[in-house]
Chain A
């Protein structure tokens, strides 16, 4: 049970903030001021202060739960315009709810891209895709690479532009779970974490702030060069094995949020992506070894 610091005998003022996440403009409205503070902390470089010239893609609200739950285990609900897709969360987890809500919003609407469920990082204009599979440790690895000189394009979505064939950045905080939080704290002193949200649906979650450079360069796409399916296995030595293009294609088509929906466009975008990349699977237990190995990936013959 949580106790509130001050009696809530009146509704506090609603706050509004507009910020950019990669190609999208988000307009957030909420009476929960703590969320707005965290948004300012996470997205400082991309908060929109002057009037913009592009329309808002995601009008979202995070609201307090029903009145009878204001004092006893207060709740928060997520709304994308007139739709509320999730059950209420504990109010303390409202920022995590907002981040997951935005993931959902992007996945159901951003069909101008082939949406892969993957972390993406960039070096020298070349993008490395780390597709998510259960237990892959994708977020931990992405966090470690982002703290070792790679530019974080995204932790959750590979936004593949079917026309330009490039991958668009979508830099957002990386939600790290359970032991990963301590692993990354120990990995780098530069890691800036938000509050730990204990016992969410996905365990304890803390958000790693995206590097300022990632946020400032969020309009710079990258050419896909490497696809690595990571797999964390305790005690395993670093092992890297090449994957065939057809196998990679099949696995990525399963991993995409909208591959089927896009039809021929999705097929062509994915085929081209796989053909322009070197593809591996890699098993690791030591994060430092894996980060070093990612820096030595050979590029595809152009």
Chain B
């Protein structure tokens, strides 16, 4: 088994390790881009003294990248707020930005490529105009792409301010409009919390976890998403300390149509990262498991693409390709999917 998974399951294993195991762990961790997060996990468990000093130095040295991204995200948020506040448009933070602003441990060392925010759908047009006036521009000028995002997706085409390179993804829903599952954004807004020290909202704890689960297992290609699974594992560990979390979670998943992604999240997080989940919650989630054939297939494919394989084994390309097809299948009805993939293939760009 992968040593990185072993450490994430139980960090104390490192106390028994010899140098070849450390070398292998470092290679797996670098390939997954999880160095900084691992350094924080080891620190939280007070295990630094058990690491070879050079290994610890290297892991901790990567923290500055996430720290810079988080600082850039905070700046971007202040600017977004300045542009949208005069119109009284509320901003809800999603994913990494929400974890960081809520002060959750999962945000430590967590790098992110872009800033995800949710705006109320009915204010979207006004918001877009305001952002355009304030200097944000769309990253794609391709007409098909623009239409693809607007008609079928849950977000605008990525934006960035003309003086900065930081990408902003403006969402109006959690999942694509054409997808099989469509959680109602107004419910997310209704349950959201305001931050005590910043003018933004964040989803309630259950929604935060459900959105993470949907990102990995409904909207995502799963392959290469060990970081996403680690988010879920760490979120569960942290959020479940709040009283009533486990009672509310399955009910909330049902209300948002996210029972299936929650099932996968709990199932695979437990299988790969040994996450502690009460048996009754697992049983409740089991009700949303797919049919036996589908379940067997996912059990076969998902660990193959999530478990670190470098440097010992070749990447599981076929499994990744099947899951890539699945992600599109879940995103669009077959006719639309065929047209979309054909169009992308003929254009010759990256899928």
Q: Which residues in A have some Cβ–Cβ distance to B below 8 Å? A: 23, 25, 51-57, 59, 81-82, 109-112, 258, 260-263, 265
- The one of A112, A262, A263 that contacts B58, using a Cβ cutoff of 8 Å: A112
Q: Is the CB of B57 within 8 A of A261?
A: no
Residue B31 at the chain A interface, CB threshold 8 Å: yes
- The one of B22, B27, B65 that contacts A59, using a Cβ cutoff of 8 Å: B27
In the complex, chain B residues whose CB is within 8 Å of the CB of A260: 68
- The one of B23, B54, B71 that contacts A263, using a Cβ cutoff of 8 Å: B71
A55-B23, A109-B58 given; 7 more Cβ-contact pairs under 8 Å: A53-B19, A54-B19, A55-B26, A57-B58, A112-B57, A261-B68, A263-B71
The smallest beta-carbon distance between B49 and chain A, in angstroms, is 15
Q: Is the CB of A57 within 8 A of B31?
A: no
Q: Is the CB of B54 within 8 A of A55?
A: yes
- B:51-77 near A, CB below 8 Å: 52-55, 57-58, 60-62, 64-65, 67-68, 71
The smallest beta-carbon distance between B70 and chain A, in angstroms, is 10
- A selection of 5 A-B contacts at a CB cut-off of 8 Å is A54-B52, A54-B53, A55-B54, A81-B30, A81-B311
Q: Is the CB of A109 within 8 A of B62?
A: yes
Residue B310 at the chain A interface, CB threshold 8 Å: yes
- The one of A51, A81, A110 that contacts B61, using a Cβ cutoff of 8 Å: A110
Give the distance in Å from the alpha carbon of A111 to the alpha carbon of B66 in the complex.
12
Q: Is the CB of A111 within 8 A of B26?
A: no
In the complex, chain A residues whose CB is within 8 Å of the CB of B23: 55-56
Q: Is the CB of A111 within 8 A of B27?
A: no
Secondary structure type dominating chain A contacts: loop
**7 nearest CB pairs, A to B:** A112-B61, A111-B61, A54-B54, A55-B22, A55-B55, A112-B57, A111-B64
Q: Is the CB of B52 within 8 A of A55?
A: yes
In the complex, chain B residues whose CB is within 8 Å of the CB of A51: 19
Number of residues on chain B facing chain A (CB within 8 A): 23
- B:267-314 near A, CB below 8 Å: 310-311
The smallest beta-carbon distance between B99 and chain A, in angstroms, is 20
The smallest beta-carbon distance between A138 and chain B, in angstroms, is 26
Given contacts A53-B19, A55-B26, A111-B62, contact A81 B57 (CB under 8 A): no
In the complex, chain A residues whose CB is within 8 Å of the CB of B71: 263
In the complex, chain A residues whose CB is within 8 Å of the CB of B68: 260-261, 263
Q: Is the CB of A82 within 8 A of B31?
A: yes
In the complex, chain A residues whose CB is within 8 Å of the CB of B67: 263
Q: Is the CB of B311 within 8 A of A82?
A: yes
